Structure formats: structure tokens, C-alpha cells
Amino acid sequence: MSAKVTFFPVANGDMTLIILNDTNETSILIDVNIRCAADDPEDDTCDVANQLRTRLKTDDKGRPYVDVFVLSHPDQDHCSGLQKHFHLGKLDDYKYEPPEGEELKIVIREIWSSPMVYRRASTNHTLTDDAKAFNTEAKRRANLYKEKVGVGITDGDRILIIGEDESPDKTKGLEGILYKQGDTITRINGTYNSMASMRVLGPFPKDADEEEEKSLQKNHSSVIIQYHIASDAAHPDACIFLTGGDAEVAIWKKLWSKYKNNTDDLKYDLLLAPHHCSWHALSFDSRSKVADPKVDADAKSALSQANFGAYIMSSSKAIKDDDTDPPCHAAKKEYLTISKNFKCTGEYPNTTTTHEPFEFIIAADGPQPPGNKKASVAAAAVSMAREPLSHG
Ligand SMILES: [Zn+2]
């Protein structure tokens, strides 16, 4: 095995799986968008559930699982299919014999959740049932942690809180699992993992200024994380993956003002173009209302800290040269000025056939896209260099 980052073809939505190169092949799933319309022959995204399941391991009780599920923000194109495909609630209530036509549910060993992102989303619009179910599950786990004072929490009950809530009293008792903006996560599912570390860049905490706070709400406040993924023990930074859900221009602008003197925190070898390659991640100007819409230089700078040979991925439908947004053709043109290696899930392997997951293999010198000969050579070398069993 080698470390992998897989983007599933979920049209305009996100669903990204990171598999680490540790002995357990630790898995981190960021968002889910399984719009299973079995009755709809037009819906070619239905099989993403299967594409995901074939990449997951099962535990000693035969249950498929992810070590971590991270929700960037609770919009439907980021949490669709959660209730249908994932077990929510106590693991004691797991159904080993699913009703006919259904599959075993996927166990989420640890959840990474941001209450502040939730608050902003629910101020802005009505949450869907999947989003509410996630929130209920996150609250169950947070309350259990408080109750047990963090002692004896096991798989299926673990949670990390990403970003400060609106006031410290809301996360009282959760300090041990709270990761604020600028903090680094090194524990995955309760264990230190040398094969990855995660720098939390967002969400921004609640802004005392009412207008600023409103702007954060309107700009799709999301969990923003810079994942440092190792190819092997000797290369802990083989792939720096920057992903920030649907965060839009005001947030990237704010990140630039915060990190412009410390741009290492914004660096990447792989970037998920925010909000499915939306124009609004880069500009305050509406393309339909403004004659000559301008890119915001600060927001673009925040998204321009690409290492040499970096890849930019759009998790979206195919990008057409028309007025569609997202994905927006003009935004793609902007990303192409940052890196020529621009890819789109809706165009792989091409725009007409049923799409396949876009899987990067992480080699010592960075992410290798499908079909890259170097990827298979690197994968072989990496598996030889694999580190021993225990992480301590
Ligand atoms: Zn979205």
C-alpha cells in the first residue's frame, strides 16, 4: 500500500478519501455526496457508494468503517447519503442484518465537527435531514466526552471539535478535543499517527464585528485544513493537501491577511478548488451583474501558495466555457495561472463516459495522478519503506 487521496465523481459536491501509509491504512473521509437515485437512469453518480465501499476496510466484526469522517460544512452536497450509508448513534445499536436491498452501514470511528460552521449554516438556511442527523450525532459524542471526562471513549464515540464555538462556555469540558484555528492535529482516532498531521486554518472564530460575522456566514464558512500526508516515514510532507469545502472569497481574503507573513501554512501540493471551482471563491463581483468582474488579489494569493508541480482539483461537473457557476470556466482560467496541473472529477476519464474516482498515489516527491508511470514505481518503493506496526 501507499498513501492515497481519492476524489469521487459526485458532480458538484465533495467526497474525498485519504488513506494513510501506516500499518492500519488509516482512512479519513472528508464530506460525502451519495445521491443514490436508483430509479433515475440519468444519475451516473449513484455508484459512488460502491466506489467508496470497495476502498474501505472492515473491522473484526465485519463492519465497514472509516477512522475519521470530517464534515467541511453541512450543505447537502457535502453530507448527502449520510443517514443511508453510515451508522449514527451508539455502536451497540449497530444492525448486522440490514433490511433487504440495503448494505451494512459504515462505522465512523471518529468525527471531526465544527459547531461554529453549523451555527453559521443554520443562520443562513434550513438544514437538511442528513445535516441535522450529523449534528445530533456530533452532540451525542460531545456530551459523552463531557460525561466521561474524556476517559474510556472508544471507536464510534470519538469526536474532535474543529474551531472555537461562539463562546468558550459552549465548549467547556471539551478543551482536550478542541482544535482552534492555527492548531495542529496529530492524533487520529485517539492515536498519535506519524503518517499525517493536520493544520487547522478554518473556520474563523466568531467575529465581534456584526458585518464581518455576517460575511463569514454568507461565504460558506467551512472547515479548512492543510493535511500533511507522508509517503513513508522519511517523507512526512510528501503531499500537502489544502481543502476548505465551499469557503468563498471573503474567507480566503481573511486567511491571506492572517497568513501572508507565514505562507507555509497555505502551501500545497494538492488543492481542492473551493466551492466546486466557483467564481465566488476568487471574486466579490457577480459575473452576471458586473461588466468587468475582478478577481480579489488577496483571496487569489491565499490560494496561490502552490509548491512546484502542484495539482488543483475541481470536484464538480465538467467545466464548460459558458455562464455556469459552479463550476466556472473563468475561475478555472485563474487556477491555471497558478498551476497547469488542473483536473476535474467530472472530466475523468473524459467528459462523456461514466466517471471514475480520481486517485492520487502519494510518492516521496508528491501526489501522482492516475496513469502516471512514476506512481506505480513510487508505490512499490514506498511499501518497502513502510514503518513498523506500533505508533505508541
Ligand atoms: Zn458544495
Distances (CA, A) of 100 to 1, 31, 103, 127, 350: 34, 26, 8, 29, 35
**Span from the CA of 218 to the centroid of ligand 1 (angstroms):** 13
DSSP string of 24-48?
T--EEEE-EE----TT-TT-TTTTH
**Span from the CA of 148 to the centroid of ligand 1 (angstroms):** 35
Q: What integer pLDDT is reported at residue 384 of this predicted model?
A: 53
**Span from the CA of 287 to the centroid of ligand 1 (angstroms):** 19
Q: What integer pLDDT is reported at residue 375 of this predicted model?
A: 55
**Span from the CA of 125 to the centroid of ligand 1 (angstroms):** 14
Q: What integer pLDDT is reported at residue 70 of this predicted model?
A: 98
**Span from the CA of 208 to the centroid of ligand 1 (angstroms):** 27
- Alpha helices (H) in 12-165, listed in sequence order: 48-53, 76-79, 82-85, 115-124, 129-147
**Span from the CA of 73 to the centroid of ligand 1 (angstroms):** 8
**Span from the CA of 222 to the centroid of ligand 1 (angstroms):** 10
Query: What's the pLDDT tens digit per position in 196-240?
Result: 999 999 999 999 999 999 999 999 999 999 999 999 999 999 999
**Span from the CA of 71 to the centroid of ligand 1 (angstroms):** 11
**Span from the CA of 77 to the centroid of ligand 1 (angstroms):** 5
Cell, residue 70: 470530517
**Span from the CA of 127 to the centroid of ligand 1 (angstroms):** 14
Q: What integer pLDDT is reported at residue 330 of this predicted model?
A: 97
**Span from the CA of 9 to the centroid of ligand 1 (angstroms):** 13
**CB-based contact 56:66 (threshold 8 Å):** yes
**Span from the CA of 12 to the centroid of ligand 1 (angstroms):** 6
**Span from the CA of 275 to the centroid of ligand 1 (angstroms):** 5
**CB-based contact 14:78 (threshold 8 Å):** yes
106 backbone dihedrals φ, ψ, rounded to 5°: -85, 130
Q: What integer pLDDT is reported at residue 41 of this predicted model?
A: 55
**Span from the CA of 274 to the centroid of ligand 1 (angstroms):** 8
**Span from the CA of 277 to the centroid of ligand 1 (angstroms):** 10
**Span from the CA of 390 to the centroid of ligand 1 (angstroms):** 37
Q: What integer pLDDT is reported at residue 1 of this predicted model?
A: 84
**Span from the CA of 220 to the centroid of ligand 1 (angstroms):** 9
**Span from the CA of 126 to the centroid of ligand 1 (angstroms):** 15
**Span from the CA of 140 to the centroid of ligand 1 (angstroms):** 26
How far, in Å, CA of 376 to CA of 370, rounded?
9
**Span from the CA of 102 to the centroid of ligand 1 (angstroms):** 27
**Span from the CA of 276 to the centroid of ligand 1 (angstroms):** 6
**Span from the CA of 165 to the centroid of ligand 1 (angstroms):** 22
Q: What integer pLDDT is reported at residue 374 of this predicted model?
A: 60
**Span from the CA of 145 to the centroid of ligand 1 (angstroms):** 30
How far, in Å, CA of 276 to CA of 274, rounded?
6
**Span from the CA of 30 to the centroid of ligand 1 (angstroms):** 12
Q: Could you say which residues of the chain have pLDDT below 50?
A: 38, 382-383, 386-392
Q: What integer pLDDT is reported at residue 90 of this predicted model?
A: 97
**Span from the CA of 92 to the centroid of ligand 1 (angstroms):** 33
**CB-based contact 146:173 (threshold 8 Å):** yes
All domains of the chain in start order, with CATH? 4-384 (3.60.15.10)
**Span from the CA of 190 to the centroid of ligand 1 (angstroms):** 29
**Span from the CA of 216 to the centroid of ligand 1 (angstroms):** 16
